[in-house]
Structure 1
């Protein structure tokens, strides 16, 4: 946790910039030269090497960067899941249940799409066009599915 928080600490970055401004300036000149002069895929490999070299020199490890990205991603997904559950409760009455005839179903609302198979303990949930993966069928989700079954899609749709 401490390593990730230091990644976003402005004092750490400010101190690093003051101490290493010459190296950063040289790296930026190299980056611009490579981007402007090299016209192949090799250009991007060189750019990645220069940026990675700066990170390594600064003492920030790939694990710290990966940890920070994972933390932000996990937080975003958790927020989306919570919001999707709230919307699920609000939009249950507007849900349209479509049975595909093979035991699978699709439930749609203005913001959600839930797909699964009857009797399965997991369903796929999509919230505002973003897949949130497979969810276990909890009481909330079971209630949503049961409410949606009361609103079947019109025949032929």
Structure 2
């Protein structure tokens, strides 16, 4: 069965630096080789990521991410078995949050392990919508 994991972590570096590019390169290669899909969102201070794949692969990956020197304060927000992937088009999608993201930065900033399951699932759906919007923009010639 498939597994999904949502985490947050503080960024040690500001957005738009080579650190984000390095994360994307490394993650794309690993995820493609290990049938992991997902989407990484960041704002000025934090990363939020949803990952999907085989349970043990994701747990091992989360352990490595938590030790990555480019982040600190890694926190698992939600994990569990799923019926189908939401991010099957993305081995590693990425988006930097901005003002056009309609309150998503604020909603994500409220997530903790103790947030209600309904709000956690809403956050995952919101991230999936960002992924869909990015995909549609890329396929229509807009990014």
Bigger strand share? 2
Bigger helix share? 1
TM-score normalised over the length of structure 1: 0.20
Higher relative contact order (CA 8 A, sep 6+): 2
Tell me which structure has the larger Cα radius of gyration. 1
TM-score normalised over the length of structure 2: 0.21
